[in-house]
Amino acid sequence: MRSNGRRVFWAAGLTVVLCFSAFGFNDGDFQYWTSAGASVKISKNWKAEFNEEFRFGNRAGNLYHHFSDLGFVYSGLADWIDIGLNYRQIFEKDDSTDRWYRENRPHANVTFKWKMWDLALSDRNLFEYRDRENGKRLWRYKNKFTVKLPWKLTAWQLQPYVADEVFINLDDTHFGCNRIYAGVSTSITSNLDANIFYMRQSSRKASDYTDYNVFGTYFKFKF
């Protein structure tokens, strides 16, 4: 099993490299997204979470997007479901005007969790209201399905995972964006988790699509 896990891990790594080679500079922009967060347990069933993210585009050279997100998660209904309420404030740069615009984005989350064939599965359903300074207000639904493989690889105990996330604008029921992830997560200490991933994003712009290739890092402190 350990040998097979190593083969899958290296195959996944090779796939990521090939994706960079095929798409990185010819078919879309290469970006770097970095985020950090903290999770604080308030009671047996409640925890508060805070996350902050910075996104660098134009071959990872220019900061164009930043958000801060604060929310509360309730896990007291059952082991297989989490419910969250969050508020996110976003600042994004418009290249055409060289200005930063604000967006207020409250959102509600329902995440289902279960196991199948030693795989850890989760399905997050997110409903958000986008109050945009430079655009119309709208509702959007996101669904992110994640599969964590059962192996812990190398001395760092890296756990591979894959995920797919779909964005749907509810005002016109149109598909807006799709993200495909491949990455590894690990616990550096009992209070610090790390996540490293490659993500391929396809976004609808008018009648066409724009693709991003993203290398991302995420660190989460737990208290």
Q: Residue 209 above 90 pLDDT? A: no
Query: What pLDDT does residue 17 have?
Result: 37
Domain holding 129: CATH number? 2.40.160
DSSP letters along 59-94, please?
TTTEEEEEEEEEEEEEEEEETTEEEEEEEEEEEEEE
What's the rounded Cα separation, in Å, for the pair 10 and 217?
19
User: Using CA atoms, how far apart are residues 127 and 83, in angstroms rounded to an integer?
Assistant: 12
pLDDT recorded at residue 206:
64
Q: Mean pLDDT score of the chain, rounded to an integer?
A: 87
Helix (H, G, I), strand (E, B) or coil at 135: coil
pLDDT of res. 208: 75
Which residue range forms the structural domain that includes residue 150?
2-222
Please say whether the beta carbons of 105 and 113 come within 8 A: no
Residue 104 has pLDDT above 50, yes or no: yes
Residues 11 and 129: their CA atoms lie apart, in Å, by 39
C-alpha distances in Å from residue 16, one per residue of 12, 13, 127, 185, 218: 6, 5, 30, 16, 18
Domain count, the chain: 1
Average pLDDT over residues 116-130: 97
* Beta strand 138-148 pairing with 99-116: unpaired
